[in-house]
Amino acid sequence: MEIEIATIGGYEEVGRQMTAVRAGNDVVIFDMGLNLSQVLIHDNVETERMHSLDLIDMGAIPDDRIMSDLEGDVQAIVPTHGHLDHIGAISKLAHRYDAPVVATPFTIELVKQQIESEQKFGVENDLVKMDPGESMTIGDHGCELEFVNVTHSIIDAINPVLHTPEGAIVYGLDKRMDHTPVIGDPIDMKRFREIGREGEGVLCYIEDCTNANKKGRTPSENVAREHLRDVLYSIEDYDGGIVATTFSSHIARVKSLVEFADDIGRQPVLLGRSMEKYSGTAERLDFIDFPSDLGMFGHRKSVDRTFKRIMNEGKENFLPVVTGHQGEPRAMLTRMARGETPYELDDGDKVVFSARVIPEPTNEGQRYQAEKLLGMQGARIYDDIHVSGHLNQEGHYAMLDALQPQHIVPAHQDLKGLSGYVKLCEGEGYHMGRDVHVSRNGNLIQLVD
């Protein structure tokens, strides 16, 4: 059976991930993501109203025109988790394919919400839920799609595996190797090891190279949790305002914040549009059991009403968890920093960034400004209470050891970013150009012909 891989997007950058695997006549697409930074560099761009081709030209979504070179039928579109760089182009591209979107329940829910807000295209693909650990048949020629549970900075993340008669294709984006993940099950390394050893073994492994140049091990979410606990407990006696911010989609972190707020005698409140969206969805789908009285507010009016209530009832009784960890100009924390909300910061108030600045001058500039404005109001900053969601080098070694793939395709980085991974693979006996395939957006890799 012919096996071919189309590296469509996210092979020269982080963002707009899209990969297609053809096994004989059956094609599966993994991820359809958005590169948000290509959008934000322009002022006043509203992606909801834009056409795919314009977004492709901007480098914002994958250029899927190479799909016409792939002979076969798309059987499924499989986003691996709910981050925008993996699902953000579904509303722009999925309607071109006569295939269902197959994903875990949380991811499907986020895809659904995205399709609903789309204003240019009508996307009517079926949305099919499949849980980690489950499988489904793909086409009529013996292929099967399996979801292996992994751990990442969002819940319900999986690595899809396409079992073919020629061996398994493991799509490894995105994950961290976490054995104590705070929410959900640990990464299913046992299953990866089985896949590496059963049947024809692993024909090809497509890997998340985000941290490929970082040595050592990415710590467990539990380490971030203990760090966060240490910070919040240390200010237990403070009788003024404490505000926290983190990635809205990072439900495990939000959970820790909510719990520690309670531990130090403060009522947590989630504020900001995406804060409400992700946590609300997670709660509705029973991924998390928040206290019944936990407030979540997204619309500006209800947020401001909540701030007023907090000011009336005493800041010392609340822990607002807000958007704005990167200093985004329109996020809640930045509005607070500019004094545009009813929440008044006083000398000595604490702002806890349970996030790291994404190391890019635009973010660094915006975060710097947000922190400066917060500082002008007397606020004090706790920073970097965070762990990455991506494998460092020791995780890569462990995956190679578990899967023992015949071929490797590094993804989710540009050439510089994935260089460490190539070196690592070569240290394990692979060779670039032979079985390590460094690809570019728009290339085809023929594995079996």
Please check whether residue 32 is in contact with residue 87, taking contact to mean a CB–CB distance below 8 angstroms. yes
- For 2, 84, 414, 416, the CA distances from 364, given in Å and listed in that order, are 46, 21, 21, 21
- Which burial class, exposed, middle or buried, applies to 248 when counting CB atoms under 10 A from its CB (0-12, 13-18, 19+)? buried
Nearest distance in Å: CB 394, a copy of itself: 6
Which of 135/234 has CB closer to a copy of itself? 234
Beta carbons within 8 Å of 64's beta carbon, 6+ residues apart: 8, 9, 18, 93, 96
Nearest distance in Å: CB 174, a copy of itself: 19
CA angle 158, 160, 162 (to 5 degrees): 165
Distance CA(230)–CA(208), nearest Å, equals: 31
Nearest distance in Å: CB 429, a copy of itself: 10
Q: What is the largest CA-CA distance in the chain?
A: 71
Nearest distance in Å: CB 382, a copy of itself: 4
Which of 179/308 has CB closer to a copy of itself? 179
Nearest distance in Å: CB 189, a copy of itself: 10
DSSP β-ladder status, 3-9 and 18-23: antiparallel
DSSP state of 353: E
CA 334 to chain centre: 23
- The structure tokens 């009788």 sit at 239
The secondary element (H helix, E strand) that includes residue 23 is strand 18-23
Which of 145/391 has CB closer to a copy of itself? 391
The binding site for a copy of itself (CB under 8 A) comprises 12, 41, 43, 177, 179-180, 213, 215-217, 219-220, 222-223, 226-227, 230-231, 233-234, 338, 348, 360-369, 372-373, 376, 380-384, 393-394, 397, 414-416, 418-420, 422-423, 426, 431-433, 438-440, 443
The reply to whether 390 sits in an annotated binding site is yes
Nearest distance in Å: CB 419, a copy of itself: 4
The reply to whether 386 sits in an annotated binding site is yes
| Amino acid occupying residue 425 | C
Which of 313/384 has CB closer to a copy of itself? 384
Nearest distance in Å: CB 383, a copy of itself: 5
Distance CA(4)–CA(138), nearest Å, equals: 16
Which of 177/322 has CB closer to a copy of itself? 177
The reply to whether 351 sits in an annotated binding site is no
- What phi and psi, each to the nearest 5 degrees, are found at residue 354? -90, 65
Q: What is the DSSP string of 412-436?
A: SS-HHHHHHHHHHHHHTT--BTTTB
Nearest distance in Å: CB 351, a copy of itself: 10
The reply to whether 85 sits in an annotated binding site is yes
Nearest distance in Å: CB 206, a copy of itself: 17
For the chain, how big is the Rg over CA atoms in Å? Answer: 22
Which of 122/433 has CB closer to a copy of itself? 433
Beta carbons within 8 Å of 423's beta carbon, 6+ residues apart: none
Distance CA(151)–CA(174), nearest Å, equals: 8
CA 197 to chain centre: 29
Which of 94/232 has CB closer to a copy of itself? 232
Structure token digits, residue 51 = 């056409």
Which of 93/373 has CB closer to a copy of itself? 373
The reply to whether 86 sits in an annotated binding site is yes
Distance CA(255)–CA(273), nearest Å, equals: 17
Which of 48/230 has CB closer to a copy of itself? 230
Residue ranges at the known binding site for Zn(2+): 81, 83, 85-86, 152, 174, 412
Residues tagged in the binding site annotation for substrate: 386-390
Known binding-site positions:
81, 83, 85-86, 152, 174, 386-390, 412
